[in-house]
Amino acid sequence: MPIDYLTNPPIGDDEMMAAIDIGSNSFHLAIARLDHGEVRKVVSMSEKVQLAAGLDENNILSAAAEQRGLDCLSRFVARLDSVPPERIRVVATNALRQAKNANDFISRANKILPKPIEIIAGREEARLIYLGVSHTNESSDKRLVMDIGGGSTEFIIGQNFDPLLTESLQMGCVSFTQKFFADGLITKEAFNSAISGARKEVLAINGRYQKTGWSSVVGSSGTIKAVRNVLVSKGWADEQERITYKGVKKLEKLLIKIGNIDDIELEGVKEHRKAVFPAGVAVLRAVMKVLGVETITYSDGALREGVMYDMLGRFASEDVRDRSVLALIKRYSGDKKQAKQVVKTSRHLFEQVKDKLALSNDDCDLLRRAAFLHEIGLAISHSSYHKHSAYLLEYSDIPGFSQVDQKRMAQLMLNHRRKLKADMLEQTCQIGGDQLVYLCLLLRLAVLAHHSRSDYALPELELKVVAENSWQITLADSSEHYAFLLADLRTEIDQFAKWGVQLSVIEAQEAETPEVEQLPLSVSS
């Protein structure tokens, strides 16, 4: 996408950025400064929260787990005074992906945090992990990267800085502890059951991963770090201090001999990790066995580092979200010419009302990307294509986008054509507030302006917010298709009214209207 659409200046040397990783086992905070293009951590905090342990059999997050998380985030926020809000990202992983009441926690957390939480999909988590590892441990080899988290384990095959294959499996040290080591006993039977459960998960991806192949294996995050530390202290690692399969089997026997989680006293295993350590070892043993991995190199880079490197791209010309948009257009054979016309007009309308409607740069980016993608549903069917577009955007794995981002784009798809439904107003507000409502209306106008798919120049459009809940669009007569466009736009008057906005559509010569005090719009009021 054109660089002139970028809305944020690049981050300069010595400027600060931060990432918060809301994990299933631990919450992590990393604050870093940019040093000649490299992210240098200056503050690193980690707290055991065990959010996943607070999920019941119905995936409802307990009040106690929510409170642990909120208390931790409050402590993190106290360290963020030196970092501008626009250079902070907060991402959440498997526990909040699974929690049916995740929105309750998120709404409370967002009142504390300087930036809203982004729940990321498993494959997006994998992509970001690889980004962190590849920048921390640079190599031109084709590598398998694995990260055993609290609720899920991510697998990535990549080369240089590019992930080639990503997967997220539903197994982690917290979830497996609850399932196989809940009584605190470390027995051979419990280990065998945990290993068997992990093997079933890994076997599902083994064929694809073996076919792609790799030349080396790298592991990241807490479980693999703790295993490596123990193996090094015991002399069970190799000469390069790598994890070995033989060493992991020895560690399993040692843990069974210890017999109880409370009795684990091993160099390199921190107090907060003892309870989930046997389950993590079981998962690692199964992974190495199924994939035929003999040695693993540990990397200090992980999700939070990947988030910050991804952030650097967003402030430059390397935003992965734009690459994803272009890939989707190509995949679904979208009409690029039509998409670019709608993008241009939506941007033109946006710029005219952004101040009155308190719309941000992020809103501009969301509208732009939705405008590019609004017709991808045509690849499925012309009938109700806007619904197909919405489904594809909400449920596809799209690199760079959070689940909330995808839901917002899906909402733009659902409401950009056909009749507006009054009951969709509340839903749209819940997902993205008044700002998303405005973007839906702007996209409707832009799409309608290009309904004819004509090569003729579009008449000049002037959009004003003339009063609270009152918009005015003026057309200059510059095209023989003017009359058709005027009629089409006037059909929107009734549709806008369903969402509480009075729309007037007038010709340029009619535009002399009394001066009206311009007030901020509030659809939800």
Q: Are strands 470-475 and 461-467 parallel, antiparallel or unpaired?
A: antiparallel
Q: Which residues pair with 462 in a beta bridge?
A: 474
Question: Between the CA of residue 192 and those of 45, 143, 146, 180, what are the distances in Å?
Answer: 34, 29, 21, 9
Enter the pTM of the model. Answer: 0.75
**What is the C-alpha to C-alpha distance for residues 255 and 275, in angstroms, rounded to an integer?**
12
| pLDDT (mean) for 451-477 | 80
The pLDDT assigned to 515 comes to: 47
Q: What is the pLDDT of residues 182-234, one digit of tens each?
A: 999 999 999 999 999 999 999 999 999 999 999 999 999 889 999 999 999 99
**Segment (H or E) for 21:** strand 16-22
Using DSSP's 3-state secondary structure scheme, residue 323 falls into helix
- Laid out side by side, the sheet with 295-299 consists of 162-169, 153-159, 142-148, 216-220, 295-299, 243-244
CB burial of residue 454 (10 Å; 0-12, 13-18, 19+): middle
Asked if the model's pLDDT at residue 81 lies above 50, the reply is: yes
Domains of the chain: 3-119 (3.30.420.40), 138-300 (3.30.420.150), 320-457 (1.10.3210.10)
- Are 436 and 442 spatial neighbours (Cβ–Cβ below 8 Å)? no
Residues 6 or more apart from 6 whose CB is under 8 A from it?
Answer: 316, 317, 319
Asked if the model's pLDDT at residue 324 lies above 60, the reply is: yes
The pLDDT assigned to 433 comes to: 85
Q: What is the pLDDT of residues 22-44, one digit of tens each?
A: 998 889 999 988 876 677 888 88
Asked if the model's pLDDT at residue 1 lies above 50, the reply is: no
| pLDDT (mean) for 167-186 | 93
Q: What is the pLDDT of residues 221-241, one digit of tens each?
A: 889 999 999 999 999 999 889
Q: Which is more confidently placed, 420 or 18? A: 18
First to last CA, the chain: 36
Nearest to 26 by CA among 429, 303, 261, 286: 303
Nearest to 399 by CA among 190, 241, 169, 162: 162
How is 73-111 classified by DSSP, letter by letter?
HHHHHTT-TTS-GGGEEEEE-HHHHH-TTHHHHHHHHHT
Q: Which is more confidently placed, 94 or 6? A: 94
The pLDDT assigned to 251 comes to: 95
For residue 73, give both structure tokens.
Answer: 């985030």
